[in-house]
Chain A
Amino acid sequence: MLTNYIKIAWKVLLRHPFYTFITLFGISLTLTVLMVLTSFLDHLFGSHYPETKRDRSLYIMQMRTQDSTRTGSSSGPMSFKFLTEYAKSLKTAERVTICTFVNSSNAYVGSQKIKLNTKYTDADFWEVAEFEFLEGKPYNEQNIANSDQVVVITDDFKKHYFGKTEASVIGKDVEIENLHYRVIGVVKGSPVTRPFTYADVYYPYTTPKSNYQRTGMRGGYVAILLAKKKSDLKAVQDEFQNNIRRIPLPGVEDGYKFAYVEVKSEPYVENFTGTLLNGNKGIKTIFFGVIAFILFMLMGLPAINLVNVNVSRIMERASEIGIRKAFGAPVRTLMWQFIIENIFITFIGGGIALILTLVIIQLINSSGMIAYADLTINVNVFLVSLLVCLVFGLLSGVLPALRMSKLKIAEALKS
């Protein structure tokens, strides 16, 4: 039965090449956009290099203080001291890393200026994030305790600073902002879209200009809490919140009197969207509403268009419908035939879209638009794409099938 349906679907496709081209073009373009989008979202939020443990990580990105009337608020990253006291001390976490977000710096090779992004981290950073060391090793607690002026650099920075050399640069000197550092390791860089781990140069937090000794709660540091297992995330979160509740209130920070403190440890996606939307539920609803609307337009409009094309195609096949009904096909079976045919066509479009997506992803990855971009079609992306194909096929197949089911046999046979 299925073979018969697919045979027919294939023949119908071949019958009107231009129609088919338009249909497949519409389907594959829509699905390509969706697949690239899914791949990009996966790139942003999935567990990828070097944040491969994201599924059991909690991110602390900022603290928010409010005055007693909650009319004024101040937010931003925290001090190293604050995170050491309230996050580093967590017993439920397997490991906690404290690091800065990226800071801009300049380095010079001869007269050529290299713009670079730097990051101060603790030694646990290299355990929480799983960087691939191409040369050397990460700095450790000893380097930090000794305030060693060492750095870990990325392969990209190595290329810019030392030129295209295959030779090891471990032990070599780099000068950044008039300070000299010894290269201790070279890693494959993290994409710019992963701000917790992205940088060109990584310093131990005890090197100069890190401001790690700053007192008070606010500073330039963020943290990643790594749970032992995914199911421990709630316990880690609870323990952290208990710690936060210990902060004496009201307090004063840089002259600002606050009565409330909010510091959240959240999985990456929530942390990202929460920060983006500043935790405002109304804005969040609008944001996700807009995303849903865009997705609906992306899928809905082409689906409606496909419904239109399918209805006219099905009516063209009225005689076949009449024949099948005359020889005993119940309406439901015929409806399934048309839905399956439609899904088959959608999957052909999906196949084309998959190839197009691979090409586009390859172009994005190699274009350098996003440094170290590693967009992929992994199992998740593929499964989402498959689901999208299925939904798309169903969306655009059901209505024409319903329309067809209303055809009277005698009338269908006359056409």
Chain B
Amino acid sequence: MINLTNIEKVYRTSSIETLALNNINLNIRKGEFVSIMGPSGCGKSTLLNIMGLLDEPSKGTVELDGQRVSTYRDKELARLRNEKIGFIFQSFHLINDLSVVDNVEIPLLYRSTNGKPRQTYAKEALEKVGLSNRIKHFPKQLSGGQKQRVAIARAIVGQPEIILADEPTGNLDSAMGNEIMNILQTLNNEGATIIMVTHDENMAKRTHRLIRLFDGTQVQ
């Protein structure tokens, strides 16, 4: 499903060059639940960003469903992200000015889905994460766990094949973290391919495969 070959990522400033990822080769199969672990600054999020087409590698190729995306232009990359990938972030990244349901609708806005069905899909997604009673609320009125569930609803509303989660439980207590993990496992059981960055060994144990990074290099 996702195939990374000889991925290298270098961050350059005028005086410093930092190698964030070095020679990463990775193949994620359809339906897998993969976790990525490693110390802070080892390149986990960078790797996730490259897989999610949020960032470009300095070298190497990224293939999504057999298509090399390096030559894709902004519009095509946007379409791929919109249709195939859903993102869950550690700090939720909800738009505070929009209500819960409006936040969840965002991916559908860029598919030209009409207003009524868009709202129906958003409500269904919220129901799936147990937040159907909070649709008119605003992010600031929600707890951390609730915010992350909204973020999950937003990630799944467009029924993407891949869900990329960057430390989805990082800002939550263990009980809430477990709840979020249960939702992710349910989604995986329903067929979604999930790649999750985590610091938590216990969470990682619940996934099919663990990838370890150290200083930008894959060690496991």
List A residues at the B interface (Cβ < 8 Å). Answer: 1, 3-4, 7-8, 11-12, 15, 319-320, 322-333, 408-410, 413
Contacts and interface: CB of A to CB of B under 8 A. Distances in A.
Contacts of A12: 97
Given A11-B98, A328-B81, 9 more contacts: A4-B105, A8-B95, A8-B97, A8-B98, A322-B93, A323-B94, A325-B78, A327-B82, A410-B46
B121 to A, nearest CB: 14
A19 to B, nearest CB: 15
Contacts of A329: 78, 109-110
A402 to B, nearest CB: 14
B97 A11 contact: yes
A330 B93 contact: no
Interface string B100-115: 0010011101110001
Nearest to B155: A327
Contacts of A320: 95
B89 interface: yes
Interface string B168-204: 0000000000000000000000000000000000000
B110 A410 contact: no
Nearest to A328: B82
Interface of B: 46, 49, 52, 54-55, 74-75, 78-79, 81-83, 87, 89, 93-95, 97-98, 102, 105-107, 109-111, 115, 154, 158
Contacts of A332: 75
A328 B107 contact: yes
A331 B73 CA distance: 11
Contacts of B94: 323
Contacts of B115: 3
A332 B81 CA distance: 16
B54 to A, nearest CB: 4
Contact of B75 (A7, A8, A330): A330
Contacts of A8: 95, 97-98
A4 B102 contact: yes
Contacts of B89: 413
A308 B59 CA distance: 37
Given A326-B52, A326-B81, A327-B107, A319 B93 contact: yes
Contacts of B78: 325, 328-331
Contacts of B82: 327-328
A409 B54 contact: yes
Contacts of B79: 328, 330
Contacts of B106: 323-324, 327
A323 B98 CA distance: 13
A404 to B, nearest CB: 13
Those 10 A-B pairs whose CB atoms lie nearest each other, nearest first: A328-B82, A11-B97, A330-B78, A328-B110, A327-B107, A409-B54, A410-B55, A410-B49, A330-B75, A328-B81
B201 to A, nearest CB: 26
Contacts of B55: 408-410
Contacts of B81: 325-328
A11 B65 CA distance: 40
A328 B110 CA distance: 6
A321 to B, nearest CB: 10
B68 to A, nearest CB: 20
Given A4-B102, A410-B49, A326 B95 contact: no
Nearest to A327: B107
Nearest to A337: B109
Nearest to B54: A409
Contacts of B107: 327-328
